[in-house]
A = this chain, B = another copy of it.
Amino acid sequence: MPEQRSRAGRATIRDVAREAGVSVTTVSHALNGKGTASEATRRRVLAVAERLAYRAHPMARGLRRGRTGVLGLDMRPLDAIGSYLPVGVDYFVRFAGAAAVTALDHGLGLMLVPDLTRPGIPTSAHGVDGYVIGDPVRDDQALARLLDAGVPVVTVGRDPGRPDFTDWVGSDDVHETQRVLDLMRQRGAERVAFIAGTDDNAWNVDAERAYRAWAGRHHLPVRVLRVPEATGEDGGRDAARQLLDGPKTRPDAIYCQTGRHAAGVLAEAQHLGVAVPRDLLLAAGSDAQQTRLATPGITALDLEPEETGKAAVQLLIARLNGEPATGPVYVPARLHERGSTGAR
């Protein structure tokens, strides 16, 4: 008595029902622990299902339940990669990896969707249960579109143009920035320059705000440069040349948002004969390969991409389960003190 399978491929619920001598309803109930089946029947169905290696067809189930079991991830940094520059490489993979594993732990898949605002995106992109949007910019289009469509969405870092939206995960940028600045001041800095990126996202906005407030509080001069994230080390080099030019008002400390800019600043400073940390203190607002491997190491905030990715997925799942909005989730950053601020 060979087991009849409806089609070549996989066993369907109907096959299990036939084999177990019950109705499909009973199979479904037994498998999902839903109905009122006797213990004997339940066990028999389970055994047959196991034997046939039955797995509910994900799309049939999804169609019926209205849930895909897949989360979407749209990381703005990934868009920036478009040309595949190794920008944010470090952060991205740690984040995406943690997010994927966390989703997996909840029985969900994680789908990469490069850019939701691009035309002609795959229909599957509309089929996910919810979205994680990484580092939205002010009045982010992808975010707006999803919210309009009523899709549950969580962002990493808030949208600066959307103060009401609180379903986000990220570091307390104002506080963390202060921490680093305080460290520099403690190490003797009196003229701290600040190099931000040009992306109009919360991370840049809040850090700059924190810097200005901090300088004001301590009656220290304010010097802000904005350098495109994508310029990387070269951008940092240029900025350093600019800042270290006039010996008169030369800063004795530089705080860069990105690790790559910081690495460029370090290289250029060394090239110009400005010793770090003796003549110049240096720190970065995000950790990266470049800050870890530079000589001396560059003091940096580790934004804990793994924790952040995990928290983002967890928050999204909570939203999907209809739990009330729990406001923003702050992931504390870790401050790695390295040689660039005088650590041994």
Which residue numbers of A lie inside 8 Å of B, CB to CB?
8-10, 55-63, 68-70, 78, 81-82, 84, 86, 89-90, 92-94, 96-98, 100-101, 103-104, 107-115, 118, 120-127, 149-150, 263, 289-290, 293-295, 306
Contact = CB atoms under 8 A, between A and B. Distances in A.
Interface centre among A58, A114, A124 (most CB of B within 10 A): A124
A263 B126 CA distance: 43
Contacts of A55: 123, 126
Given A69-B124, A86-B289, A289-B86, A110 B112 contact: yes
Interface centre among A9, A97, A126 (most CB of B within 10 A): A97
A93 B75 CA distance: 12
Contact of A58 (B118, B124, B149): B124
Contacts of A306: 84
Given A111-B70, A112-B96, A112-B111, A123 B86 contact: no
A59 B69 CA distance: 11
Given A70-B70, A93-B93, 4 more contacts: A59-B127, A68-B124, A82-B101, A89-B89
A19 to B, nearest CB: 19
B104 A124 contact: no
A69 B123 contact: yes
Contact of A59 (B68, B92, B110): B68
A108 B125 CA distance: 8
Given A84-B306, A112-B111, A126 B58 contact: yes
Contact of A63 (B59, B104, B149, B293): B59
Contacts of A113: 100, 104, 109
Given A59-B68, A61-B123, A126-B55, A97 B84 contact: yes
Contact of A114 (B58, B100, B124, B126): B100
Nearest to A289: B289
Contact of A112 (B112, B125, B294): B112
A90 B100 contact: no
A109 B111 contact: yes
A223 to B, nearest CB: 27
Given A9-B150, A84-B94, A97-B81, A109 B89 contact: no
Interface centre among A59, A104, A290, A295 (most CB of B within 10 A): A59
B107 A123 contact: yes
A289 B88 CA distance: 12
Contacts of A58: 68, 123-124, 126-127
Nearest to A92: B93
Contact of A124 (B81, B89, B93, B108): B108
